[in-house]
Amino acid sequence: MAEPIKKTPKSFEEAIKRLEEIVEQLESPELPLEKSIELFEEGMRLSQFCNTKLNEAEKKITQLVKKPGGKIEEVPMENESADTSTTNQEEIPL
């Protein structure tokens, strides 16, 4: 059984790996309640860390959009719920 991470993970991947370990441990019927609570709290901290990292990455992502006339332009990634102004534009798949 892996020990809880008491420090901030070094990377998103490290945090995801630890979250997978936590889920596996929480699925064990022999796990005492106190240990389950500790793991749950650690999982919530790691989940928040991952969410922050994903939000930071999303801000850096751009889309390649083909404008009318064939010109390709790089534009910031839009939130799916946001009103898009990319009508008459074609997204270039990566």
Whether the Cβ atoms of residue 72 and residue 66 lie closer than 8 Å to each other = yes
pLDDT interval class at 72 (50, 70, 90): confident
Contacts of 90 (CB under 8 A, 6+ apart): 65, 66
**Please, is 8 exposed, middle or buried when counting C-beta atoms within 10 Å of its C-beta (0-12, 13-18, 19+)?**
exposed
- Whether 4 shows a pLDDT value over 60: the answer reads no
Total of domains in the chain: 2
More confident residue, 48 or 63: 48
Please, what is the end-to-end C-alpha distance for the chain in angstroms?
40
7, part of any domain: no
In a shared domain, residues 18 and 53: yes
What's the pTM value of the predicted model, to 2 decimals? 0.63
Highest mean pLDDT among 40-44, 69-73, 87-91: 40-44
Q: Across the chain, what does the average pLDDT equal?
A: 81
In a shared domain, residues 51 and 83: no
The pLDDT assigned to 84 comes to: 46
